[in-house]
Structure 1
Amino acid sequence: MSRIRIDAVLIQAVIAGALSFAHLHDLAEAAGQDGWKAWAYPISVDLLLVAAWRRMRTTADNRAAWAWFIIALAASLGANVATAGLLDLGNVPAWLRILVAGWPALAFLGGTLLVHAPTAAPEAVPEPLPVPAPPVAPAPEPLPDMTVKRVPEPAPELPAAPPGEAVPEPAPAPAVTVPPALLDHARKLSDAHQATTGARIDSATLRARLGVPAHLADAITAQLA
Structure 2
Amino acid sequence: MRPSIRPDAVLVQAVIAGALSFAHLHDIAEAAGQHGWKAWAYPISVDLLLVAAWRRLRTLRATDGPVRSAWIWFAVALVASLGANVATAGLLDLHQVPAWLRILVAGWPALAFLGGTFLAHNPAPPAQPQTLAPAECDSHPEPAVDPEPVREAVAAPEPAPALPPAPAPVAPPLLAHARKVAAAHLTATGTPIDLDTLRARLGVPTPLAEAIAAQLT
TM-score, normalization: structure 2?
0.58
- The residue that corresponds to 2:71 in the other structure is 66
Deviation at 1:77, TM superposition (A): 0.9
Partner of 1:110, secondary structure, is: helix
Residue number among 112, 118, 121 corresponding to 1:116 in the alignment: 121
Is 1:79 aligned to 2:84, yes or no? yes
Counterpart amino acid of residue 33 in structure 1: Q
- The residue that corresponds to 1:48 in the other structure is 49
Residue number among 82, 88, 91 corresponding to 2:93 in the alignment: 88
Deviation at 1:50, TM superposition (A): 1.8
Q: 1:164 to 1:152 in 2, by over 3 A?
A: closer
Deviation at 1:79, TM superposition (A): 0.7
Q: 1:135 to 1:64 in 2, by over 3 A?
A: farther
* Residues 36-77 of structure 1: per-residue CA shift (max 9 Å, x gap): 222211110011122123334444244433332221111011
Deviation at 1:134, TM superposition (A): 6.4
How do residues 139-154 of structure 1 correspond to structure 2 at under 5 angstroms? Answer: 150=160, 153=163
| Larger-Rg structure | 2
- The residue that corresponds to 2:28 in the other structure is 27
Deviation at 1:96, TM superposition (A): 2.1
Q: Larger deviation: 51-60 or 131-140?
A: 131-140
Separation in 1 of the partners of 2:57 and 2:96?
Answer: 38
Q: 1:30 to 1:155 in 2, by over 3 A?
A: same
- The residue that corresponds to 1:156 in the other structure is 166
Q: 1:74 to 1:148 in 2, by over 3 A?
A: closer
Partner of 2:33, secondary structure, is: coil
How do residues 99-114 of structure 1 correspond to structure 2 at under 5 angstroms? Answer: 99-114=104-119
Separation in 2 of the partners of 1:15 and 1:111?
Answer: 26
Q: 1:30 to 1:164 in 2, by over 3 A?
A: closer
Relative contact order, higher structure (CA 8 A, sep 6+) = 2
Q: Which structure shows the bigger proportion of residues in helix conformation?
A: 2
Q: Which runs of 5+ in 1 are unaligned?
A: 141-146, 167-225
Q: 1:163 to 1:37 in 2, by over 3 A?
A: same
Partner of 2:173, secondary structure, is: coil
Counterpart amino acid of residue 44 in structure 1: S
Counterpart amino acid of residue 30 in structure 1: A
TM-score, normalization: structure 1?
0.56
Identical residues among aligned pairs (%): 65
- The residue that corresponds to 2:147 in the other structure is 136
Counterpart amino acid of residue 95 in structure 1: W
Separation in 2 of the partners of 1:128 and 1:7?
Answer: 45
Q: 1:25 to 1:134 in 2, by over 3 A?
A: same
Partner of 2:107, secondary structure, is: helix
Counterpart amino acid of residue 94 in structure 1: A
Deviation at 1:139, TM superposition (A): 8.7
Separation in 1 of the partners of 2:165 and 2:45?
Answer: 124
Is 1:38 aligned to 2:43, yes or no? no
Q: Which runs of 5+ in 2 are unaligned?
A: 152-156, 177-217
Aligned residues: 166
* Residues 54-106 of structure 1: per-residue CA shift (max 9 Å, x gap): 33444424443333222111101101111222122333333222221221122
- The residue that corresponds to 1:18 in the other structure is 19
